[in-house]
Amino acid sequence: MEDGVIHLRTPLARGGLVRGQWGRAIVLALVAQAVFLFALISPRADDFSSLSLVTASGAHPFQVEIAADEGSREKGLMNRRYMPADRGMLFEFEREAPVAFWMKNTYIPLDMIFIGRNGAITHIAANAEPLSEAVIPSGGPCVAVLEVNGGVAAKIGLRVGDKVRHPFFKP
């Protein structure tokens, strides 16, 4: 100390480590946190269940996430920017009743397939508009709703009355 001024000579005080080693450490910590959070919110392979849509052209296999509780049904496919072509989400309900969905915070177009207790398709809402808050009604009682990428129902020739094969449905 000379003339009442403290001269700081450490690399940290001069900003060397903040920009160098400390900066890299902070960036690495943020990247690690992002990877960890992505792993938490991304579905794992064991989070999927096999399901088939049976049309006049045959059985079309899908791997679906199951939304069987209030929390997972409320979240659904919100905030996803991509879904592989053979994936979807099956919303299971305790009892058969009319339901309604919307596309709030959902960034990909979806086909919503409404399904009765025996696995028969009761209604199809094709290509629901991303981010729309318009209500999409089931058109009658259903016990489940399958969401797949928009356009899939038309591509495989899915029609009302076709069947969904999955352990949730009673034959």
Q: Where in the chain are the domains?
A: 11-41, 45-165
Q: Are 130 and 108 in contact (CB under 8 A)?
A: yes
Residue 18 is classified by DSSP as H
pLDDT at 170: 79
SS3 label, residue 90:
strand
Residues in the chain: 171
Please state which CATH number belongs to domain 45-165.
2.60.120.1140
With contact defined as beta carbons under 8 Å apart, do 169 and 119 qualify? Answer: yes
Q: What is the mean pLDDT, run by run of 10 residues, along the chain of 171 residues? A: 52 52 64 51 64 98 96 95 97 97 97 98 98 97 98 98 96 71
- Inter-residue contact 30 to 36 (CB < 8 Å): no
User: CA dist 20 to 7, 9, 28, 47, 90, Å?
Assistant: 21, 16, 12, 41, 49
Instruction: State residue 5's pLDDT score.
Output: 55
Which pTM was predicted?
A: 0.74
